[in-house]
């Protein structure tokens, strides 16, 4: 073997060794990212951990999710909003997505991102110069993509090898499928099946958590105990399906008035609990009256009849230094609710007599 051949072989061997080391480093990063995904206990944590890890470990400018506008994805986004997820994400037309990605299950590398503007958040469109689009699947169906964005136009180009990006897409799809399945099971355990509100079991856990936070940070905590007026009459007049429609109507309207930190629960039957962190009693009273006005302004349609739904309520509020526990807070709100219902009943009776 000539000296030049020996040098060429040596260079090829060194190049192979260097490539093997790069591949090993990438595989190690993917393993670490997978571990972070497995540590997530809720969907928002999964999304935040994943985007942060991919961005930092692969030194990217931006990483985000795009989901197609199928019903399942709307449920995913709704849950993320409830959990206060901070990750960048957006919803796009399923038709547009499949057309842009040519219905591919393999990563697409693109160095002309203007043609893919629909998949890029508006505030990133001038910044991102190349993209890696990693299609994601759940139960055999493409639901969107994890997108890696770079300001370097040469970072991702169509001719480049995408084996490890495909591995990341597969791992992300598997992780997303797993965490979503766990979230659905949790929803079944903690959600009221009729209204979709959090149930009594979840309320008890949330109340203990908020009490602890109140005591830790020295903030007040208010609780509203709501009970619908004349609910039995709705059932007796129009039937139990109308009663169900009434409960759904109330839930849908009341939850639109809450701040992100507030929570509403279906406690039992036609009773609801609202937790209002950092609110005093006067503020809670104002919120309750605002809820009453909301229902008064939006009657429930029963065929050709508009039924105004109203409720009585009790307010209880703690200051951290008082050391009130969950049972005492609920008991006080219940007592005040009972008092208001009695007063409302007497007023209705006087109205009938008059």
**What is the per-residue pLDDT across 273-298, written as a single tens digit (0 to 9) for each?**
999 999 999 999 999 999 999 999 99
CATH architecture of 12-190: 2-Layer Sandwich (3.30)
Per-residue pLDDT tens for 28-52? 888 888 888 888 888 988 998 899 9
As a three-state string, the secondary structure of the chain is CCHHHHHHHHHHHHHHHHHHHHHHHHHHHHHHHHHHHHHCCCHHHHHHHHHHHHHHHCCCCEEEEEEECCHHHHHHHHHHHHCCCCCCEEEECHHHHHHHHCCCCCCEEECCHHHHHHHCCHHHCCCCCEEEEEEEEECCEEEEEEEEEECCCCCCCCCCCCHHHHHHHHHHHHHHHHHHHHHHHHHHHHECCCCCCECHHHHHHHHHHHHHHHHHHCCCEEEEEEEECCHHHHHHHHCHHHHHHHHHHHHHHHHCCCCCCCEEEEEECCEEEEEEECCCHHHHHHHHHHHHHHHHHCCEEECCEEECCCEEEEEEEECHHHCCCHHHHHHHHHHHHHHHHHHHHHHHHHHHHC
CATH 3.40.50.80 assigned to domain 200-353? The reply is: no
Each residue's pLDDT tens digit, 293-315: 999 999 998 888 888 999 999 99
Residues of the chain with CATH 3.30.70.270: 200-353
Please give the mean pLDDT across all residues of the chain. 87
> Where, residue-wise, is CATH 3.30.450.40 in the chain?
12-190
Is this model's pTM higher than 0.85 or not?
no
């Amino acid at each position: 073997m000539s000296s030049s051949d020996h040098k060429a072989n040596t260079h090829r061997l060194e190049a192979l060794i260097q490539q093997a080391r790069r591949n090993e480093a990438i595989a190690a990063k993917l393993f670490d990212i997978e571990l972070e995904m497995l540590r997530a206990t809720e969907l928002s944590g999964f999304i935040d951990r994943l985007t942060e890890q991919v961005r930092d470990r692969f030194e990217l400018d931006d990483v985000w999710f795009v989901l197609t506008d199928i019903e399942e994805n709307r449920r995913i986004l709704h849950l993320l909003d409830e959990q206060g997820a901070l990750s960048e994400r957006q919803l796009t037309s399923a038709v547009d997505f499949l057309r842009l990605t040519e219905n591919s299950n393999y990563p697409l590398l693109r160095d002309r991102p203007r043609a893919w503007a629909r998949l890029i958040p508006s505030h990133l469109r001038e910044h991102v110069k190349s993209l890696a689009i990693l299609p994601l699947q759940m139960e055999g169906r493409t639901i969107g993509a994890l997108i890696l964005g770079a300001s370097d136009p040469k970072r991702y180009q169509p001719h480049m090898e995408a084996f490890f990006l495909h591995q990341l897409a597969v791992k992300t799809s598997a992780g997303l499928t797993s965490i979503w399945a766990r979230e659905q099971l949790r929803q079944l355990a903690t959600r009221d099946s009729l209204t979709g509100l959090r149930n009594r079991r979840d309320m008890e856990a949330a109340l203990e958590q908020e009490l602890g936070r109140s005591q830790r940070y020295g903030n007040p905590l208010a609780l509203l105990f709501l009970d619908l007026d004349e609910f039995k009459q709705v059932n007796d007049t129009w039937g139990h399906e109308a009663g169900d429609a009434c409960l759904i109507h109330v839930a849908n309207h009341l939850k639109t008035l809450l701040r992100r930190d507030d929570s509403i629960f279906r406690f039992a039957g036609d009773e609801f609990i609202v937790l209002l962190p950092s609110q005093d009693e006067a503020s809670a009273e104002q919120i309750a009256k605002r809820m009453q006005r909301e229902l008064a302004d939006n009657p429930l349609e029963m065929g050709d009849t508009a039924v105004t739904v109203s409720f009585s309520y009790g307010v209880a509020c703690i200051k951290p230094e008082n050391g009130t526990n969950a049972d005492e807070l609920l008991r006080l709100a219940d007592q005040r609710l009972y008092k208001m219902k009695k007063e409302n009943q007497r007023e209705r009776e006087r109205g009938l007599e008059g």
